Amino acid sequence: MSSSTGTTPKKGLFGRTKKVKDPNNPGRIAQMRQVFAMTRKADPASVWWMLLAALAVLLVAVVIGLLWNQLVYMLILGIPLAILAAVIVLGRRAEKAAFAQIENTPGASTAALGQLRRGWFYDQEPVAAEAGGTMRGMRDLHNAAMVFRAVGKPGVVLLAEGPRGAAQRLLTSERRKVARVVGEEVPVHTYMVGAGEGDLPLRQVSRTLRKLPRKISNDEALAVQQRLKAIARTRAQQVPAGMDPTRAPRMSRKALRGR
């Protein structure tokens, strides 16, 4: 005789099986509550911005309803739109609060690249890094310089973060290596990610990359990504003296298209 366990679905009225909620997969309302609580804690002013957006939409609906003599009808339309406006503001403020929390953490650029849509290829790990000394016998990653890479229709994008001097050296070195591999027909864009003068703020990374002009096709971007990853694997292996994998023949648009 089998014993019942805690994971056995419960039966409700008429013998119907009740669905057991997965604690690791909360519903949409629960997720909204979590986002609202996190945003309100990090940005208390977000609540007032949400109310302001909702009241502004309702005010417009009331004014139009009075002018058209359709107040009830406009309120029926205005209330859902007011809620939508508040949710949009919540999403913007939550995104800003989330980036503010990770802005100074090592590898924060990866979180920004994760917001890119289809058509972009990027690596979770930095393509170049330089540790910033030691602290109590351990590497101090907070002072490490890193370079992350993304490939899309605008070409190759390199993002550097960390101490400006070391990050700029790594960025310049990586740009030269990438340019030797992909050739002149594939643009290489470089950015310093940070909060300093001339830096690209972390929360604007994905927006800035999406606005770059498109220069290559999606298939060409995939071919570039695969070529760069192959070169990186070659570098990691033991290469005979006198050989430089970055000096391999450059890629051409015709080769990318398979012609």
Question: What domain range is 115 assigned to?
Answer: 108-257
The answer to whether the Cα torsion of 87, 88, 94, 97 is positive or negative is negative
* Portion of the chain with pLDDT greater than 70, in percent: 75
- Who has greater pLDDT, 245 or 26? 26
Q: Give the pLDDT band of residue 24 (cuts 50, 70, 90).
A: low
Percent of the chain with pLDDT over 90: 37
- Which residue has better confidence, 109 or 141? 109
Within this chain, do residues 194 and 112 fall inside the same structural domain, yes or no? yes
Q: Which of 102, 127, 147 is the last residue before a domain boundary? A: 102
Q: pLDDT, tens digit, for every residue of 181-206? A: 998 889 999 999 988 888 898 888 98
- Of 45-54, 140-149, 231-240, give the range with the top mean pLDDT: 45-54
Q: Is residue 2 part of a domain?
A: no
For residues 98 and 141, state if they share a domain.
Answer: no
CA dihedral 204, 154, 211, 82 (to 10 degrees): -80
Asked, for residue 4, whether it belongs to a domain, the answer is: no
pLDDT at 13: 54
Residues 98, 116 share a domain:
no
Q: Tell whether 142 and 175 lie within a shared domain.
A: yes
Whether 128 and 96 map to the same domain: the answer is: no
Answer yes or no: do 168 and 52 share one domain.
no
Whether 145 and 223 share a structural domain: yes
What's the chain's average pLDDT? 79
Residue pair 188/155 in contact by the 8 Å Cβ criterion: yes
Residue 95 in 3-state DSSP? helix
Positive or negative: CA dihedral 161, 164, 168, 174: negative
Q: Is residue 164 part of a domain?
A: yes
Does this model's pTM top 0.85? My answer is: no
Domain closes at, from 52, 77, 102: 102
Does 129 share its domain with 252?
A: yes
For the record, the structure tokens of 65 come out as 């309803």
Domain final residue, candidates 102, 130, 158: 102
Token duo for residue 146: 């890193």
Count the domains in the chain: 2
Same domain as 124, residue 245: yes
| Residues sharing a CB contact under 8 Å with residue 156, sequence separation 6 or more, in sequence order | 149, 150, 178, 182, 186, 187, 188, 189, 224, 228
Residue with tokens 């080769």: 255
Local confidence band at 148 (pLDDT 50, 70, 90 cut-offs): very high
Which pLDDT score, from 0 to 100, does residue 8 have? Answer: 53
118-148 CB burial, b ≥16 within 10 A, e <16? eebbbbeebbbbbebeeeeeeeeeebbbbbb
Instruction: State whether 160 and 223 are in the same domain.
Output: yes
